[in-house]
Chain A
Amino acid sequence: MANHQLNPNNWIDLYSDYLFNYTISRVNDRAMAQDLVSETFLAGLKSMNNFKGEASERTWLVSILKRKIIDYYRKINSNKGKAEVRMTYNNDSESEGDWLEERVADPFDKTAEDKLENTELGNAIYDCLSKLPEKQAEVFKMKTILGYETETICNELNITPSNLWVLIHRARTALADCMEENWF
Chain B
Amino acid sequence: MKKSFLFISCEEAKHICDKSQYGEATGWERIKLALRLSWCRVTKAYSNKNNKLTDTIEHAKVDCLNTDERDKIKHQFEEELAKHQ
Contact = CB atoms under 8 A, between A and B. Distances in A.
Interface of A: 8-9, 11-12, 16-17, 20-21, 24-25, 34, 37-38, 41-42, 45, 48, 118, 121-122, 125-126, 141-146, 150, 156, 165, 168-169, 172, 175-176, 179-180, 183-184
Determine chain A's interface SS by DSSP, over half rule. helix
Contacts of A8: 77, 81, 84
Contacts of B19: 165
Contact of B72 (A34, A122, A156): A34
Contacts of B60: 118, 121-122, 125
Contact of A118 (B22, B59, B80): B59
Determine chain B's interface SS by DSSP, over half rule. helix
A154 to B, nearest CB: 13
B75 to A, nearest CB: 10
Given A8-B81, A38-B77, A184-B52, A16 B65 contact: yes
Interface of B: 14-15, 18-19, 21-22, 24, 49-50, 52-53, 56-57, 59-67, 69-70, 72-74, 76-77, 80-81, 84
B15 A122 contact: no
B56 A12 contact: no
B14 A169 contact: yes
A144 B55 CA distance: 11
Contact of B53 (A42, A141, A156, A172): A172
Contacts of A165: 15, 18-19
B63 A175 contact: no
Contacts of A175: 53
